[in-house]
């Protein structure tokens, strides 16, 4: 039994409260959980939750989860993201060969990825999100984001993909345009430390800062934040949403970058076309979007998320929440909003890497930028 799996079990299930008899008990339907949801943890198994009304026990927090009937309800959920008992871990978790995370000396990962995609032996890319200052017009978190890109460079990633919110800029008139330009320049300067292409995702701070107010192409030259972001994105795309492809020796990897803060019917149609094409032709599909599952700041945000999940995907990367978290209802989805913005529920600023192993699984590692230590590691099958 690997020690990290044992640690997950100790955090995830040993602190269940006495007397409820249901929290983290295996189930197949909500009917078995005395009115509470029967949710899936990252192992893929289903377990009973309990209501959050009286607070959650140590090692658990109140989170929205998907019940077996498909509804979204709040339940106490293990902070470790896993309920499975130690005796069941080897059967319930997908196989994880930690050796694949350390065999860069033997895995060929050569090739190049530019602003329009590229060709590599095997994928190895970095990701992080939410690098904005703590206050409007405040000091940019330069040290953190520099460490993140230096860390990615040390890992020899081929490119990076971020999950949005590169600025926190207010004001009006020329001062707003100047502030937005300065903050995007600070981000680009840090990204240039990587020496590779950095693919950016649009966040709400690349519009007005308010998730309920969306931007459009007409915002260019009138909205300072949107204008500065699109100027920085210009080598990659003339639209805030885009796709790029990376060909590997064992198949095509499609990357779809969604701009949910610039959502309209044209993007909805485009997204469906790209996802359908990837379903048919890609070995891997990676999707980046700023707002995570459950966010309803704008009426369409959850609908966009649900649109993606009706298709195949390898990893679904989101931000907006300033923490790292693997989503409880989807082992392929995570929030990685810990790129320098003020932490809210998170405990570290950092980044992740995704490596296409020799078995074609994608091996993910999450790093604390200040120590270089691995915070989490897991793998997923191609689709």
Note down pLDDT in tens along the chain; length 383 residues.
Answer: 333 333 333 333 333 332 245 788 888 888 888 888 998 876 667 889 998 877 788 778 787 788 888 788 888 888 766 775 422 333 333 333 434 444 544 677 889 999 999 999 999 999 999 999 999 999 999 999 999 999 999 999 999 999 999 999 998 899 999 999 999 999 999 999 999 999 999 999 999 877 667 999 999 999 999 999 999 999 999 999 999 999 999 999 999 999 999 999 999 999 999 999 999 999 999 999 999 999 988 889 999 999 999 999 999 999 999 999 998 889 999 999 999 999 998 999 999 999 999 889 999 999 999 999 999 999 999 99
Contact 159, 125 (CB under 8 A): yes
What residue segments make up the domains of the chain, in order of their start? 3-92, 98-380
Pick the CATH number of 98-380 from 3.30.565.10, 3.60.20.10, 3.60.21.10, 3.90.1300.10: 3.60.21.10
275 vs 290: CA distance, rounded Å: 17
Q: How does DSSP assign 347-371, residue by residue?
A: S--EEEEEEE-TTSPEEEEEEETTT
Cα–Cα distances (Å) from 259 to 158, 284, 286, 382, in that order, read: 23, 20, 14, 24
pTM for this predicted structure? 0.75
- Give the strand pairing for 315-318 and 284-288: parallel
Work out the angle between the directed axes of helices 173-192 and 224-233 (0-180°, nearest 10): 30
């Amino acid at each position: 039994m690997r020690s990290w799996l044992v640690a997950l079990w100790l955090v995830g299930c040993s602190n269940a409260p006495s007397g409820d008899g249901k929290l983290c008990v295996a189930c197949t339907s909500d009917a078995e959980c005395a009115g509470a949801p029967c949710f899936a943890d990252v192992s893929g198994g289903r377990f009973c939750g309990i209501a959050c009304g009286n607070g959650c026990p140590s090692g658990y927090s109140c989170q929205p989860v998907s019940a077996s009937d498909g509804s979204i309800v709040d339940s106490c959920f293990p902070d470790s993201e896993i309920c499975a008992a130690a005796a069941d871990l080897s059967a319930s978790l997908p196989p994880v060969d930690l050796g694949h995370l350390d065999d860069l000396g033997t895995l060929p990962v050569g090739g190049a990825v530019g602003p329009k995609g590229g060709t590599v032996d095997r994928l190895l890319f970095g990701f992080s999100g939410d690098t904005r200052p703590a206050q409007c017009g405040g000091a940019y978190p330069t040290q953190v984001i520099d460490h993140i890109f230096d860390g990615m460079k040390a890992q020899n990633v081929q490119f990076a993909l971020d999950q949005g919110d590169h600025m926190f800029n207010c004001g009006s008139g020329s001062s707003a345009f100047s502030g937005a330009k300065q903050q995007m320049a600070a981000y680009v300067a840090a990204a240039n430390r990587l020496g590779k292409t950095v693919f950016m995702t649009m966040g709400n701070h690349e519009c007005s800062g308010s998730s309920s107010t969306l931007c459009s192409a007409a915002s260019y030259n009138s909205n300072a934040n949107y204008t500065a972001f699109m100027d920085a994105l210009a080598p990659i795309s003339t639209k805030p949403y885009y796709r790029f492809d990376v060909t590997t020796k064992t198949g095509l990897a499609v990357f779809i970058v969604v701009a949910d803060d610039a959502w309209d019917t044209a993007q909805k149609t485009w997204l469906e076309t790209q996802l359908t094409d990837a379903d048919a032709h890609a070995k891997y599909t990676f999707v980046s979007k700023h707002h995570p599952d459950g966010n309803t700041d704008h009426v369409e945000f959850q609908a966009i998320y649900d649109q993606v999940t009706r298709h195949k995907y390898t990893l679904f990367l989101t931000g907006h929440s300033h923490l790292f978290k693997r989503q409880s209802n989807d082992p392929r989805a995570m929030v990685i909003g810990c790129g320098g913005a003020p932490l809210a529920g998170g405990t570290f600023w950092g980044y992740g890497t995704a490596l296409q192993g020799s078995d074609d699984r994608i091996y993910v590692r999450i790093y604390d930028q200040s120590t270089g230590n691995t915070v989490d590691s897991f793998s997923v099958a191609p689709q």
